[in-house]
Amino acid sequence: MEFLKKNPKIFQWLFLLIVFFALCFAIEVPETYKFIRGQAEFVKDPNQSTFVFAGKEVRYYAFDVFWRLPPLLGWLPIWINDSLFFLMNDWMPMEFWNEDTQEFKTRPLLLQISRNLTAFMTFIIELIREILLGGLETIVAFTSWDFIDANPWAELPGLPWTIVAAGATILSYKLSGKGLAIFAGLTMVYISIFGQWKPSMQTLSFILVAAPLSFIFGLGLGISAFKSKRVEKALYPILLVMQTMPQYAVLVPALVLFGVGDHAAVIITMIVAIPPMILLTLLGLRAIPPEVIEAGRMSGCNNWQLMFKVLIPTARRDILIGVNQVIMVCFSMAVISAFIGAKGLGFNLLLALNQLNIGLALEAGLCISLIAILLDKMSLAWANKQTDYFGNLTFFERNKNTIFFIGAFVIGIILAYIGTFLFKGTFNYLFEIPHNKGISTADFWNKGVDWIFDTFFVYIKAFNTWLIQDVLQPMRALYLRMPAIATIVLVVGAGYLIGGVRSALVVCGLTLFIALSPWWDRALVTTYMATFGVIVSCVIGFTVGTLCFQNKSAAKFMLGVCDIFQTFPSFVYLIPVMMLFGITDTSVLIAVIVYATIPATRYTIEGLRSVPVGLHEAATMSGVNKFQRLTKIEFPLAFPHMMLGLNQTIVFALFMVIIGAFIGTEDLGQYILKALSDKNGAGIGLTLGICVAFIGLIFDNLIRTWVGKRKKHLGIA
Amino acid sequence: MSDTVIKCESVYKIFGENAKKMLQEANGNVDAKTFQENGCIVGVNNASFEVAKGEMLVVMGLSGSGKSTLLRCISRLTDATGGKIFIEGQDLLELNNKELIDLRRNKMGMVFQSFALLPHKTVVENIAFPLQIKGINTDDSISKAMDMVKLVGLHGRENYFPRELSGGQQQRVGIARSLAVEPDIWFLDEPFSALDPLIRKEMQDEFLRLQDKLQKTIMFITHDFDEALKLADRIAIMKDGIIEQLDTPAKIVLNPATEYVRKFTEEVPREKVLLIEDVMDQTTSNNLGDLRVSKDEIIENVAEKILTQEKTVGVIDKNNNIVGSINPTKIINTVFGGRKNEN
């Protein structure tokens, strides 16, 4: 009792838990309750109740309201759908001039805008694609199909792969030096001789459009948010939701607005990639010391010069992290947007995963990862590039890179020409190695997988069964056993204890949205999988991080590893786990754990690093040993930063759980995937996405509030 | 004074939402307390002074005294709430944005306490920055910047990044950058406060050497009274936004206007600040010894000589005319006795 009096917080938490468990036991599981699977929810069931809101009939399984809240928000997806259709098909019809038919045509405004945007995007993508691979579309865009028919020569020839490879190498050399040049060269050669050239260039052309556009828009919006409080206030909630919204969920509305194809993929990628860019731009600009701004002003900068010559370069560190994020998101979207018809490596990867051809998936995945790392490193090197004003260079030295490229260009063309004689009747391997006609190691990997499966089947299966039966199933049952009211009380109570009334209200609103949507059960399953993944990830991440921190080079090495792993698109993580565990929940969870361990490890190391040196020395002089220093000094001070890592871990885990639906899990992700192939899926997809985002935001809000208070308390805000 | 470069007429800077309105209602009688109760903070309170061409005015005050705010009003990094500021006769507050930028590009240079160098540019690029902003081409701006690098003694380090330099070296870059456009007016905001004492002394000497050569009109902000005494032609001492006293170092030491100023002067070694002229008797007696001292000498430098004399020593001006006299007792009184008398 003394103890409780001294620690009123602990008493409050205990009280909250007691209330929670009391509610859990007091509210019985209704006899009619069962976890509804798959299609059943879309089939009319006589046991369902209905209600009508705003002219929409919503059907649901009625339970005791303490057990599960009625899905009062069930009309929302339907309503979103109808509004979207109305906007697209009936809103603001206007007369538009149609080039092809030479007449005015009546079309809804939004449809016209969307069509124009589509045409524009398609044109840029095709232009880059045809420079790399050759084709007709660009010339058609300027002339017409008739022109092409009349002039069979009018076709962009495309570059031989040797030239593109040489170009990438020389550019890397110019930007960064030998190391990157060798990496670029090897990457390009690998892509080519493994027969992934065409899909890789398709993906590249998609990224070369999406990434710069995302960068420009993100930077621009970030700047305007920095300059105007009002813009920031308007953007902030959208940014928050977008940050935690799974990329899958945005696909469906985009499908409705922009249709299927690369252009829709680019737009959707921009929507996903812009928010982190805005946030990091804002963060970087905020952190600029006021004296630097004043120095810029006193140097006589006008607003434009101040922004682009002083502020943005000074905030470069954060903006570059933003660029890195943009590239990361672009590549992970390159895979995901294959669902809505983007061509390239992502499509091949999905196809291979679908056919369970692990070897092919591995090769495609490796290509994506390699290009991602290459582009990331190149953009970094570009931003850090220095000019030499004093070297007295000859003409050759100044222009050697250009000269080399021209040389490579000529040699490439000559080689391709020789190739036409060398490989008469077959494919010209010196021009382009066609898909699946290169070397492939797929068989090797597939055999390897088979071998692993045959050899270790017993153990893997035993582990699998144990994990599912003894850990996952009970955990899942526990989560589903929670009455909705009890969960809400727990979450809101936690919000109140951590952040007071304000936090409690925010959290309450977020939880209620999920509880009132028709997918509370699914959300619980998502949460359970994420929780499991987060717990394991954190244990691994915190341990590995702490161990690595003991040695400087180990810490540096680990951060490097995290960097590389972060560049892999999330889908790639599914490949090795499917190799080992096949199509089970275990696979998804292991992918979740691997993926979510990255931020946990990174933030642990960074947090421990940020402990001031002075404190270290003070501790050492007080005669603590290494272990005491860790537990008494470093952990308490690094803890807030580590909690931010936990926050990231949760978001990463949620993303992976949702993507895991591709292998087949019974959570929100499954429905999102289903909504993709549903004509009326837009509303459902969006609402589901918001639900997932809100799960993330509940934890986000609690953790951030706590961290803020803790940091203030420790005086390290 | 002949050529007034900077002229302030009752300048006010008040932070807060209703600052302008409250200032008008106060009718020139600003009381910090009443303003604070209404959510306004008084930064600069009725500052009026002039700075002549080639003069160095040091504004001295503790942190929060409004000295940096005053400087920012005069460079118009913030807009003054009330009053008038003239730069070479131009009304600063009337300038539009373009004219202001023009003024800064050609007439003003500023050095900052935390150096405020651009982290992504090398030494020479930082120095060339204001020139490039002005629109001067790369070759010319870089070669001009290299002259500046030599002037501040950083030759050989022009390709270093700021993070690779020590604090003193970084501030040399800051000084070089502020001088690159050859401004007439030079603002320095606590330029040496972030430096070690030894480096600080070195930089002060360096600064005096530069000023000797360049003869700029200078406003120098510091919280260090000794620094102010060492550098200033005139010192303005600020407290709570009000200029308590504005005078030459010697006059401030001899006649502190307020109790606040007197506290600063107490610990000052007079022999290092005062000139013979400041303590000599205007009357010349016929009973002078053989020694003659210049009226512009600092007491410390000639004290020993004077003290060994038994007779009164004659004081001469530049043309060797006797303008006054000083006897050893006077020296002893100045150095040791002055404080007791004041107590």
Q: CB atoms < 10 A from the CB of A86, how many?
A: 12
Answer whether A300 touches B (CB < 8 Å).
Answer: yes
- The domain containing residue A419 runs over which residues? 161-193+403-436
CB-side neighbour CA atoms (13 Å) of A129: 24
Strands B41-52 and B4-15: antiparallel
B239 and B293 both lie in a single domain: no
Question: A425 pLDDT exceeds 70?
Answer: no
Which of B96, B120, B159 is the best mutation test for A, with the most CBs of A within 10 A? B120
Q: How far apart are CA B56 and CA B232, in angstroms?
A: 6
Shared domain for B77 and B220, answered yes or no, is yes
Map chain B to HEC letters.
CCCEEEEEEEEEEEECCCHHHHHHHHCCCCCHHHHHHCCCEEEEEEEEEEEECCCEEEEECCCCCCHHHHHHHHCCCCCCCEEEEEECCEEHHHCCHHHHHHHHHHCEEEECCCCCCCCCCCHHHHHHHHHHHHCCCHHHHHHHHHHHHHHCCCCCCCCCCHHHCCHHHHHHHHHHHHHCCCCCEEEEECCCCCCCHHHHHHHHHHHHHHHHHHCCEEEEEECCHHHHHHHCCEEEEEECCEEEEEECHHHHHHCCCCHHHHHHHHCCCHHHHCEHHHHCECCCCCCEEEEEEECCCEHHHHHHHHHCCCCEEEEECCCCCEEEEECHHHHHHHHHHHHHHHC
DSSP code, position A310? I
A596 shares its domain with A626? yes
One domain for residues B102 and B247: yes
Average pLDDT of A389-404? 72
- A47 reaches B (C-beta below 8 A): no
On whether both A349 and A211 belong to a single domain, the answer is yes
Residue B212 shares a structural domain with residue B294: no
Domain-embedded: residue B134:
no
pLDDT value of position B7? 92
Check whether residue A213 and residue A115 sit in a common domain: no
**Residue A717 predicted with pLDDT over 60:** no
Same domain, A146 and A173: no
Cα B42 to its chain centre, rounded Å, is 22
How far apart, in whole angstroms, are the C-alpha atoms of residue A420 and residue A428? Answer: 6
Instruction: Judge if B257 and B319 occupy the same domain.
Output: no
Q: Does A305 contact chain B (CB < 8 Å)?
A: yes
Angle between helices B123-134 and B138-151 (to 10 degrees): 130
Q: Is there a contact between B129 and A299 if contact means CB atoms under 8 Å apart?
A: yes
User: Of A357, A385, A413, which one is at a domain's C-terminal end?
Assistant: A385
**CB-based burial label for B213 (10 Å; 0-12, 13-18, 19+):** exposed
Q: Is residue B141 part of a domain?
A: no
Domain termination site, one of B220, B243, B268: B268
Domain identity same for B91 and B214 = yes
Name every residue whose Cβ is closer than 8 Å to that of residue B20 and which is 6 or more positions away in sequence.
B81, B82
Closest by Cα among A577, A595, A586 to A449: A577
> Do A374 and A423 belong together in one domain?
no
The answer to whether residues A484 and A67 touch, using CB atoms and an 8 Å cutoff, is yes
DSSP character string of A502-535: HHHHHHHHHHHHHHHSTTHHHHHHHHHHHHHHHH
Interface test with A, best of B76, B122, B133 (most A CBs within 10 A): B133
Residue ending a domain, among B203, B236, B268, is: B268
Identify the residue among B68, B69, B96, B101 best suited for mutation to test binding to A, counting A beta carbons within 10 A and taking the highest. Answer: B101
* Torsions phi, psi for A74 (to 5 deg): -60, -25
Confidence at residue B343, expressed as pLDDT on a 0 to 100 scale: 38
Question: A333 with A211, same domain?
Answer: yes
Within this chain, do residues A604 and A580 fall inside the same structural domain, yes or no? yes
A25: exposed, middle or buried (Cβ count in 10 Å: 0-12, 13-18, 19+) = exposed
Q: How far is it, in rounded angstroms, from Cα A343 to Cα A263?
A: 10
The pLDDT value given to residue B341: 46
A380 and A421 share a domain?
no
- pLDDT for residue A41 is more than 70: no
Is residue A15 a part of any domain in this protein?
no
Q: Does B134 touch chain A (CB under 8 A)?
A: yes
pLDDT at B327: 80
When pLDDT is averaged across residues A235-254 and rounded to a whole number, the result is 84
- The whole-number pLDDT of residue A569 equals 77
Tens of pLDDT, residues A488-520:
999 999 999 998 899 999 999 999 999 888 888
pLDDT greater than 70 at residue A298: yes
The answer to the question of residue B158 being in a domain is no
Query: For position B37, which CATH number holds?
Result: 3.40.50.300
Residues A153 and A165 placed together within one structural domain of the fold: no
Q: CB count, 10 Å around CB of A384?
A: 12
Answer for the pair A615, A636: CB distance below 8 angstroms, yes or no: no
Q: Among all residues of chain A, which has the CA nearest to that of B68?
A: A291
pLDDT score of A43: 59
Alpha helices (runs of H) in A44-160, residue ranges in sequence order: 75-89, 109-133, 137-142, 145-150
CATH number at residue B310: 3.10.580.10
- Stretch A666-684: mean pLDDT, rounded? 79
d(CA A588, CA A10): 36
Please give the backbone phi and psi of residue A583, each rounded to the nearest 5 degrees, phi first: -95, 85
The answer as to whether B303 is a domain residue is yes
Mean pLDDT on A644-661: 87
B133 touches chain A (CB under 8 A): yes
B293 vs B320: CA distance, rounded Å: 9
Q: What is the number of domains present in chain A? A: 4
Which tokens is B19 given?
């600052």
**At A203, which CATH number?**
1.10.3720.10
Assigned token pair, A433: 């190695």
Question: Does B96 lie in the same domain as B188?
Answer: yes
Question: Can you tell me the distance from the alpha carbon of A299 to that of A28, in angstroms, rounded to the nearest whole number?
Answer: 73
Q: Establish if A364 belongs to a structural domain.
A: yes
Q: Is B157 on the interface with A (CB under 8 A)?
A: no
In a domain, A13, yes or no: no
Ramachandran category for residue A407: left, alpha or beta (phi over 0 → left; psi -120 to 50 → alpha): alpha
Do A558 and A333 contact (CB within 8 A), yes or no?
A: no
Contacts of B108 in chain A (CB under 8 A): 298
Shared-domain flag, residues B277 and B319: yes
Low-confidence ranges of chain B (pLDDT < 50): 1, 340-343
Q: Which residue has the higher pLDDT, A73 or B244?
A: B244
* Contact across the interface for A309 and B104, Cβ inside 8 Å: no
Are A299 and B104 a contacting pair at CB < 8 A? yes
Cα B286 from Cα A50, distance rounded (Å)? 121
Mean pLDDT of A352-368: 84
- Closest by CA to A307, choosing from A335, A276, A284, A338, is A284
- Which band of pLDDT confidence, cut at 50, 70 and 90, is reported for residue A118? confident
| Alpha carbon distance A695, A691 (integer Å) | 6
Beta pairing partners, A59: A50
- Residues B11 and B77 both lie in one domain: yes
Domain annotation covers residue B170: no
Distance in angstroms between the alpha carbons of the first and the last residue of chain B: 36
Sequence-separated contacts (24+) of B252-257 with Cβ below 8 Å = B253/B229, B254/B278
pTM: 0.82
> Within A135-261, where are the H helices?
137-142, 145-150, 161-175, 178-193, 197-227, 229-244, 247-258
A305 and A172 in a common domain? no
Amino acid in the structure at residue A160: P
B301 C-beta neighbours (distance < 10 Å), count: 14
CA dihedral A648, A649, A654, A655 (to 10 degrees): 70
CA-wise closest residue to A203 among A333, A336, A345: A345
My answer on whether B229 and B319 are in the same domain is no
Query: Quick check: A214 pLDDT over 90?
Result: yes
Q: Are A547 and A627 in contact (CB under 8 A)?
A: no
Residue A404, token pair as written in the block? 């080399």
More confident residue, A154 or A493: A493
Residues B260 and B289 in one domain: no
Q: Are strands A93-98 and B234-239 parallel, antiparallel or unpaired?
A: unpaired
| Domain annotation covers residue B10 | yes
pLDDT tens for A598-642 read: 999 989 998 888 888 888 888 888 888 888 888 888 888 888 888
Q: In a 10 Å sphere around its CB, with 0-12 CB exposed, 13-18 middle and 19+ buried, how is residue A612 labelled?
A: exposed
Whether A301 contacts chain B with CB within 8 A: yes
Q: Does B186 touch chain A (CB under 8 A)?
A: no
Same domain, B322 and B189: no
Residue ranges making up the domain that contains B287: 273-342
Total CB pairs under 8 A between chain A and B: 72
Question: With an 8 Å Cβ cutoff, are A299 and B75 in contact?
Answer: no
Give Cα A172 to chain centroid, integer Å: 26
Mean pLDDT of chain A: 83
Residues A143 and A177 in one domain: no
> Which residues neighbour B140 within 8 Å (Cβ) at sequence distance 6 or greater?
B131
Domain-terminating residue out of B215, B242, B268: B268
Examine residue B46 and state whether it is found in any structural domain, yes or no: yes
Number of domains in chain B: 2
Indicate the residue type of B200: R
> A336 and A234, same structural domain?
yes
Show Cβ contacts of residue B160 under 8 Å, excluding neighbours closer than 6 positions. Answer: B122, B123
Please determine, for residue A331, whether its predicted confidence score (pLDDT) is greater than 90: no
- As a whole-number percent, the residues of chain A with pLDDT over 70 amount to 93
Please name the residue of chain A whose CA is at the shortest distance from the CA of residue B177: A299
DSSP code at position A42: G
